[in-house]
Amino acid sequence: MTETRPVAAPRDDPASAVPAIELEGVQKSYHAYGETVAAVRGVDLTIAEGEFFSLLGPSGCGKTTTMRMIAGFEEPSAGRVRLHGQDVTDVPANRRDVNMVFQSYALFPHMSVFENVAFGLRRRGVPKAEITRRVGGMLEIVDLTGREKRRPAELSGGQQQRVALARALVNEPRALLLDEPLGALDLKLRQAMQVELKRIQRGVGVTFVYVTHDQGEALTMSDRVAVMNDGVIEQLGTPREIYEHPATRFVAGFIGTSNLLEGEVTGTEPGSAVLSHGPDGRIEVPMRHGREAAEGDRVELTVRPEKICIGLDKPGDGLCAVRGTVTEVVYLGTSTNYNITTSAGADVVVFLQNATSAEDVAVRGDSVWLSWDPCHSYAIGAPQ
């Protein structure tokens, strides 16, 4: 795992110095049918007050289990859970100051929008005038003013999802846990709701923990993202950090398109190594996060497709340079995709923006040079 940098907390609020959520060495194993499943194998994370934090990873990697332990629906097999500085590991769900919204948000079908949102407040005996005020305010935030009397069946999927959100937020939880809440919506609506959710979260300032297997969703909305794989966090950082600096092969492959290259170390300098890659290929790669390499080692690295240039001439010194043959050119309007097989046999994708050139820089079968700035080379390996 790479460094976990907390987002800056608002300075004028001393309470914000205490993290909203902390998990320390949290593990969860299930015993079913005589087998033990290690769903979460040791998760550490700190979520700041007011942060939009996402748990991103493929199905079965332990996201829901992690959320259920934060909410108190599941007891960790090991480790501690703290909410707002208080150890709640042994505190039941109904006494934790968090609310959870699920993919199947199950509104009460026979109740109006207003009554659905008011439900929790009524049950707690909140005075009528205050219920009217709070529900009204919440419906305004989720943009459903004027729809108070409708039944859920008379609303679109996106509107129903916003009612579910209002119903959770009206209780003023200090944190809201959302487990794939947009999973049931179609793509267009999902994208509109992503923007909407972010706007709502900014408006109310509540800590959001968002579970998704959709990388675009996580990158769009989050202040920080924890990328999970097989019960552990492989990387935790801002969307930019995890996209630009993938720390592991898994993260590089799971987020966006990434090229994987391998080379043998021919020389080292403090903080960087030079690798050979096929005849004439030279790749410089920074050794970040305390990584080290010695001459003769094989090192694997990634480079994002938009960082690579294609040319017919050998690139200048100081750039990474690899020879290859163009195997495919696909014109996509705003950009052109090139598939290239390097002289060492690696398949590389390059995206070139069609900003100025009216013609393709190379055609299928061309022998070309690929080049990029060494700062875009990322050595990857097992999580550290």
Nearer to ligand ADP, 56 or 370 (CB): 56
Given a contact cutoff of 8 angstroms between Cβ atoms, the answer to whether 255 and 302 are in contact is no
Find the part of the chain contacting Mg ion (CB under 5 A) among 62-70, 104-112, 262-270, 300-308. 62-70
Nearer to ligand ADP, 226 or 348 (CB): 226
Given a contact cutoff of 8 angstroms between Cβ atoms, the answer to whether 24 and 79 are in contact is yes
Contacted by 56, from ligand ADP, Mg ion, none: CB < 5 to 8 Å by type: none
Q: Cβ 232 to ligand ADP, closest distance in Å?
A: 12
The CA radius of gyration of the chain, in Å to the nearest whole number, is 25
Contacted by 225, from Mg ion, ligand ADP, none: CB < 5 to 8 Å by type: none
Nearer to ligand ADP, 37 or 287 (CB): 37
Q: Is 211 exposed, middle or buried (0-12, 13-18, 19+ CB in 10 A)?
A: buried
Interface size with ligand ADP, residues (CB under 6 A): 12
Nearer to ligand ADP, 57 or 324 (CB): 57
HSE at residue 74, side-chain half, CA atoms within 13 A, is: 20
SS3 label, residue 245: coil
Contacted by 281, from ligand ADP, Mg ion, none: CB < 5 to 8 Å by type: none
Q: How far apart are CA 208 and CA 70, in angstroms?
A: 12
Nearer to ligand ADP, 60 or 374 (CB): 60
Q: Cβ 65 to ligand ADP, closest distance in Å?
A: 3
Q: Cβ 228 to ligand ADP, closest distance in Å?
A: 7
CA torsion 189-191-192-197 (nearest 10°) is 110
Measured between alpha carbons, how far is residue 143 from residues 94, 170, 200 in Å?
29, 14, 10
Q: Cβ 209 to ligand ADP, closest distance in Å?
A: 13
Q: Is 89 exposed, middle or buried (0-12, 13-18, 19+ CB in 10 A)?
A: middle
Nearer to ligand ADP, 35 or 317 (CB): 35
Strand 347-353 with 272-276, pairing: unpaired
Q: Cβ 118 to Mg ion, closest distance in Å?
A: 29
Nearer to ligand ADP, 54 or 65 (CB): 65
Q: Cβ 63 to Mg ion, closest distance in Å?
A: 5
Q: Which residues of 282-321 are buried (b: 16+ CB within 10 A; e: fewer)?
A: bbbbbbeeebebeeeeebbbbbbbebbebeeeebeeebbb
Q: Cβ 348 to ligand ADP, closest distance in Å?
A: 31
Q: How far apart are CA 113 and CA 124, in angstroms?
A: 18
Nearer to Mg ion, 64 or 207 (CB): 64
Given a contact cutoff of 8 angstroms between Cβ atoms, the answer to whether 47 and 53 are in contact is yes
Does 277 participate in binding ligand ADP (rule CB under 6 A)? no
Phi, psi at residue 222, to the nearest 5°?
-85, 150
Q: Enter the tokens of residue 207.
A: 């800590």
Contacted by 207, from ligand ADP, Mg ion, none: CB < 5 to 8 Å by type: none
Does 64 participate in binding Mg ion (rule CB under 5 A)? yes
289: left (phi over 0), alpha (psi -120 to 50) or beta: left
Q: Which of residues 24-83 bind ligand ADP (CB under 6 A)?
A: 30, 32, 37, 39, 57, 59-65
Does 66 participate in binding Mg ion (rule CB under 5 A)? no
Interface size with Mg ion, residues (CB under 5 A): 1
Contacted by 62, from ligand ADP, Mg ion, none: CB < 5 to 8 Å by type: ligand ADP
DSSP state of 249: H
Q: Which of residues 205-234 bind ligand ADP (CB under 6 A)?
A: none
Nearer to Mg ion, 53 or 338 (CB): 53
Among 258, 337, 366, 346, smallest CA distance to 302 is for 258
- Could you tell me which residues come within 8 angstroms of residue 172 by beta carbon, excluding any fewer than 6 positions away? none
DSSP state of 103: S
Nearer to ligand ADP, 71 or 349 (CB): 71
Q: Cβ 382 to ligand ADP, closest distance in Å?
A: 21
Find the part of the chain contacting Mg ion (CB under 5 A) among 49-57, 58-66, 104-112, 297-305. 58-66
Q: Enter the tokens of residue 181.
A: 């809440």
Residues that bind Mg ion (CB under 5 A): 64
Residues contributing to the site for ligand ADP (CB under 6 A): 30, 32, 37, 39, 57, 59-65
